[in-house]
Amino acid sequence: MRFLVKRLVQGFGVLLGTLTLVFIIFSWVPDPARELAGQTERESVVQSFRTKHGLDLPTHSRYLNFLGDLIPIGPRSDGSFGLRSPDLGTSYITDRPVIDTVRDAIPATLILACVAMLFATVFGIAIGLALALSPSSRLGEVVLSICALGMSAPSFVVAIIVAWLFGYVLHSYTGLSMTGGMIIVDPFEGPRLAWSHLILPAFTLGIRPLAVIIQLSRNSALDVLAAPYIRTARSKGLSSTRILFKHVLRNSLNPVLTATSGWFASMLAGAVFVEFVFGWKGMGLLMFSALERGDLPIVMGCTLVIATIFVLVNVVVDVLYGVLDPRVSHD
């Protein structure tokens, strides 16, 4: 419990620092009211917009109000005092609460990130272990070369190539579309989930972490295979399968777990270009549209959600270290 409390306090500090930095950056933005209203709009209309969104207040007052609205305990809308949902403000463009807009967009991004990370983790660990068992093979060198290419390719370039190749050139064989969201509206059946639209963006988003996990799994497994306790296990007559899954796999997962947690959290923010190319209506596309239109409350709400998930994922990973490797728990 002391370890968890310490990690949570550290995570809260990271979260507070992130929110403060983002708030300071956006406080330097020129008058968003005048920018959105246009240069020819009447000053009374612009001033009404500033008053509605609190832009007429000093910077420190706006910052304190921003933090106060995030506290889950305080006065509620019905006048009582108690638990409440955080208030992230309202959108400059749609005048809709930010928390409702983000709540509608985050499921699509979470599903995309989870599927992409599952694909990268399962295939990355399996291929990495196979390469570790035959480290000098010519096939292994080819796979590592492809991994280096996959790590260096920008996501938006890969997204365009994958969409064009599998969604246009090979469409008659794959049956996949170049673009499409998680939910489509059928004129006869109404809204329904379109899981086929998930394949190409998840594959594209998982290519880079797949390349990283393959190399990490291979290198970590090679280190474990060279450890003295592996030679002891072999001398006791344990089967290769038991040694592989009981000792090698478990003790080589820590660096893979670190990379996986970092990639999963970064996918929530880094899926912007992938979601834009494939038309996947998630938080990445929402943030892109908000930045394009100057909708700062939406951008700050997305940043808050991503930073919170990043902190929570890191706390969970720190706990999993001790589960996978008893030496970490003793330390």
Q: With CA atoms as reference, report the closest residue to 124 among 221, 14, 234, 224.
A: 221
The residue among 301, 270, 305 whose CA lies nearest residue 23 is: 301
The pLDDT score that the predictor gives to residue 330 is 45
Write the single-letter amino acid at 117.
M
pLDDT tens over the chain, length 331 residues: 787 788 888 888 888 888 888 888 877 777 777 767 766 677 787 788 778 877 778 888 888 888 887 877 766 666 677 677 777 888 888 888 888 888 888 888 888 888 888 888 889 888 888 888 777 778 878 888 888 777 777 777 888 888 888 888 888 888 888 877 777 776 766 677 777 888 888 888 888 888 888 888 888 888 877 778 777 877 877 777 777 777 777 777 777 777 777 777 777 666 777 888 888 888 888 888 888 887 888 888 888 888 888 888 877 877 776 666 665 554 5
Q: Which amino acid is at 77?
A: S
Break the chain down into helix, strand, coil percent, rounded to 5: 75, 5, 20
Report the largest interatomic distance among the alpha carbons of the chain, rounded to a whole angstrom.
86
Rounded distance between C-alpha atoms, residue 38 and residue 294, angstroms: 13
- Who contacts 138 (Cβ-Cβ below 8 Å, separation ≥6)? none
Residue in the structure block whose two tokens are 């038991």? 242
Tokens 């990379």 sit at which residue? 259
DSSP H or E stretch at residue 288: helix 283-293
pLDDT of residue 138: 80
pLDDT at residue number 167? 85
Q: What are phi and psi of 146, to 5 degrees?
A: -65, -35
Beta-carbon contacts of residue 100 (< 8 Å; ≥ 6 apart): none
Give CA angle at 237 (233, 240), nearest 5°: 70
Contact indicator for 33, 49 with CB cutoff of 8 Å: yes
Architecture per CATH, domain 102-330, reads as Orthogonal Bundle (1.10)
Instruction: Describe the crossing of helices 98-133 and 138-152 by its angle, rounded to 10 degrees.
Output: 160
Q: Which long-range contacts (CB under 8 A, 24 or more apart) does 54-58 make?
A: 55/31
Segments of the chain assigned to CATH 1.10.3720.10? 102-330
Tell me, yes or no, if the pTM score tops 0.75. yes
- Cα–Cα dist 258/256, whole Å: 5
Which class for 117: exposed (0-12), middle (13-18), buried (19 or more C-beta within 10 A)?
Answer: buried
CB-based contact 62:27 (threshold 8 Å): yes
pLDDT of residue 134: 77
Nearest to 204 by CA among 254, 246, 267, 251: 267
Q: What are the tokens at 98? A: 């930010």
User: How far apart, in Å, do the first and last CA atoms of the chain sit?
Assistant: 15
Asked if 214 and 128 touch (Cβ cutoff 8 Å), the reply is yes
